[in-house]
């Protein structure tokens, strides 16, 4: 695949919305996350509003295996003011396939950076649905989970608790 105008526009859009490079690569198709990152840099889009995770620290790269000439290139650190585009994704995630467990108070404690959409779930991400699938406030917990279980440790506790326990837990949560 090549970087057509449309694909570049979509890349810009998704990148500005805060999607990760691998997620964007999945959306575009036919490219790897490396390709996406490379393109982002060539477009001068690097450095999003808030560094997603470890953006600010990685600075060194390959130690020149071929030439042996240890010539560090220019850091290329232009300020690159990014327009304050909305961080909120406006694509509508697919509705949950499985029956949706009750929304628990923990939902609001999921860090935004860890939340997942139906598109970003893997075997190792918590699939606990949060919010109403018919709205665009819907997402999945997205925390890391064991490959063998559908939920993170926290939601496993909720999902596999006896119903009576769950109720009392909820009452407490609502009261407080």
Partner DNA sequence: CCCTGATTCGC
Partner DNA sequence: GCGAATCAGG
Specify the stretch interacting with DNA by CB under 7 A; choose among 58-66, 92-100, 129-137, 164-172: 58-66
Q: Cα(41)–Cα(3) distance, rounded to whole angstroms?
A: 14
Answer for which of 49, 50, 64, 173 binds DNA (CB under 7 A) is 64
- Which residue in 5, 6, 57, 176 binds DNA (CB under 7 A)? 57
- From 68-76, 84-92, 98-106, 157-165, span contacting DNA (CB under 7 A): 68-76
> Residue 163 burial by CB count (10 A; 0-12/13-18/19+): exposed, middle or buried?
exposed
Q: Please, which residues bridge with residue 140 across strands?
A: 116, 129
Report the residue number, 54 or 174, with the smaller CB distance to DNA: 54
Which is it for the CA torsion 110, 113, 118, 124, positive or negative? negative
The Cα–Cα gap between 39 and 19 comes to 15
Question: If we measure between CA atoms, which residue out of 120, 110, 122 comes closest to residue 150?
Answer: 122
Our CB check for DNA shows the closer of 41 and 167 to be: 41
State which of residues 9, 49, 55, 146 lies at the interface with DNA (CB under 7 A): 55
Q: Which residues bind DNA (CB under 7 A)?
A: 1-3, 19-23, 31-35, 37-42, 46-47, 52-55, 57-67, 69, 71-77, 122, 124, 144
């Amino acid at each position: 695949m090549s970087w057509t105008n449309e694909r570049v526009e979509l890349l810009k859009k998704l990148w500005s919305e805060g999607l990760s490079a691998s997620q964007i690569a999945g959306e575009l198709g036919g490219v790897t996350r490396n390709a996406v990152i490379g393109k982002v840099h060539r477009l001068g889009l690097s450095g999003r509003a808030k560094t997603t995770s470890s953006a600010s620290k990685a600075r060194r790269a390959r130690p020149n295996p071929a030439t042996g000439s240890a010539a560090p290139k220019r850091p290329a650190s232009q300020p690159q003011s990014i327009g304050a585009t909305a961080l909120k994704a406006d694509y509508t995630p697919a509705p949950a396939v499985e029956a949706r467990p009750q929304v628990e108070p923990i939902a609001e404690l999921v860090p935004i950076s860890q939340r997942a959409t139906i598109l970003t779930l893997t075997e190792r991400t918590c699939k606990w649905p949060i919010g109403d699938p018919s709205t665009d406030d819907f997402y999945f917990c997205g925390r890391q989970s064991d490959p063998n279980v559908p939920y993170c440790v926290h939601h496993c506790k909720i999902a596999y608790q006896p119903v009576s326990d769950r109720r009392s837990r909820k009452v407490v949560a609502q009261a407080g």
